[in-house]
Structure 1
């Protein structure tokens, strides 16, 4: 596990060097493979974490009700500003129990090492139906569009900003996996000026507002063997955002849809990258 963490850190350093000198997009090819033992061990570690620190809340706006969990920074200090991380769940977590949206990617924020080192607010909404719908475009590429409830997340963010003026408005981050990654892209496309950075893992892309994404900090992660949300979608988005020196695209040659998040769940690579970005 330690060796894998070091490899990811080295890859990240190489990426930074390339970005700084070329001022171009960065495409990282990663040859990591995940066996069943590592897959199970990683998930079990996160499943055994207590999620009691995530407060249960419900956002209501007209006839819309969105259950969500909300995590305060460690040692929350009213005199300090903190980033806000918004994490979106995949389609298998749809519901209204206000529990199931805390998938493994969301749980990384309550790992002791992450919670202690990366003080932030974390918002984890749950959708009662698909938050992102997929439609094939004229080129045969699946593209994503937000649901009405997903659009309402912008209103929820506004309410949370009012409730917690300690949120650093220049450091609001989006992260998601699968349908959740598509929703993260949808929100970034709807309000690119709102968010400092986005991590998108195995998404169906949103191609609706490309001109406003050309200077955004975006990290696309996808497995080349993904047939659920086809890898080609992230590849097309990467090419269409040609010239964005803040865009990183990591291709895992040997991974598919169900194991693509595993390399990052027990590291701090996603957190370090996000926290280095600001408006």
Structure 2
């Protein structure tokens, strides 16, 4: 890690501690993270019972392509209300972070095109350096983990569609950060699971998904399941790409996620 990055993380950690003193608890707050001469829009939610000096789990949530932009709002469209609910606040107090990816870029360098039959075909190149938004998100996670309020053994990642693809690539690039993950209507190259096969992942997909076909998540799951019996795969036979409706309503989702810790 370069000196500039270290300085940015230390400054941000100090700034974040001050912000938490006045941030509204139980509701998302708009924030901007600055590092590497760039900025990242995100929203953060603190639990209702937030206490200075207490460590909480951290959930990073990567949105889909439809929520990209610069309003620092759309990224909460899918999933935001789940974490603000009274029951989740009571049973699963955590620090929740929803970054927003700008238009014209993605969390990954994935490519797709339709074949002669009209079916989508995906490629998942992984260049040496991730797209800038993902690089910024990773730096933000580093900042939060280095602070006094996050339990570094209980950092989780979730993602929908483009964010589900991003989740798997984040695990490939930075597997040491995350104790468990949830991937909704996403997928990736199953040949790249070697770095993260030890991370428990719950996959969700719609059987009729014609945007990201379920074969792409199923292939990753099959490869991971060989060495990680804690991972799960749930297929909703009648759901299309909007399998997030069912996945985010799964009553055991957060209970399953929060059981895992880094040793």
Query: Displaced runs of 4+ in structure 1, greater than 4 A?
Result: none
SS at structure 2 position matched to 1:104: coil
Question: CA offsets per residue over residues 36-74 of structure 1, 9 Å max, x none?
Answer: xxxxxxxxxxxxxxx982111111112321100011122
The answer to whether residue 76 in structure 2 is matched with residue 102 in structure 1 is yes
Moved more, 72-81 or 82-91: 72-81
Match of 2:35 among 52, 55, 61: 61
Instruction: For 2:26 and 2:89, locate their aligned partners in 1 and report how far apart those are by CA, in whole Å.
Output: 13
Instruction: For 2:191 and 2:37, locate their aligned partners in 1 and report how far apart those are by CA, in whole Å.
Output: 27
Task: Give ranges in structure 1 of 5+ residues lacking alignment.
Answer: 1-50
Change (3 A) 1:55 1:230: same
TM-score normalised per structure 1: 0.75
Aligned to 1:9: none
Match of 1:226 among 209, 230, 237: 209
Match of 2:124 among 140, 143, 158: 143
Match of 2:88 among 107, 114, 117: 114
Task: Give ranges in structure 2 of 5+ residues lacking alignment.
Answer: 1-24, 114-120
Instruction: For 2:237 and 2:124, locate their aligned partners in 1 and report how far apart those are by CA, in whole Å.
Output: 22
Instruction: For 1:147 and 1:97, locate their aligned partners in 2 and report how far apart those are by CA, in whole Å.
Output: 20
Question: CA offsets per residue over residues 181-222 of structure 1, 9 Å max, x none?
Answer: 111111111111110000000013144631122221111111
Is the CA contact (8 Å cut-off) linking 1:82 and 1:119 kept in structure 2? yes
Is the CA contact (8 Å cut-off) linking 2:47 and 2:93 kept in structure 1? yes
Aligned to 1:185: 168
Structure 1 residue 252: deviation in Å?
1.4
Q: How does 1:60-99 map to 2 (within 5 A)?
A: 60-99=34-73
Structure 1 residue 249: deviation in Å?
1.1
Match of 1:212 among 185, 190, 195: 195
Instruction: For 1:52 and 1:92, locate their aligned partners in 2 and report how far apart those are by CA, in whole Å.
Output: 25
The answer to whether residue 137 in structure 2 is matched with residue 132 in structure 1 is no
Aligned to 1:241: 224
Instruction: For 1:144 and 1:177, locate their aligned partners in 2 and report how far apart those are by CA, in whole Å.
Output: 19
TM-score normalised per structure 2: 0.79
Is the CA contact (8 Å cut-off) linking 1:87 and 1:123 kept in structure 2? yes
Is the CA contact (8 Å cut-off) linking 1:215 and 1:246 kept in structure 2? no
The structure with higher relative contact order (CA 8 Å, sep 6+) is 1
Is the CA contact (8 Å cut-off) linking 1:87 and 1:176 kept in structure 2? yes
Paired residues in the alignment total 226
Aligned to 1:203: 186
Instruction: For 2:33 and 2:152, locate their aligned partners in 1 and report how far apart those are by CA, in whole Å.
Output: 20
Is the CA contact (8 Å cut-off) linking 1:215 and 1:245 kept in structure 2? no
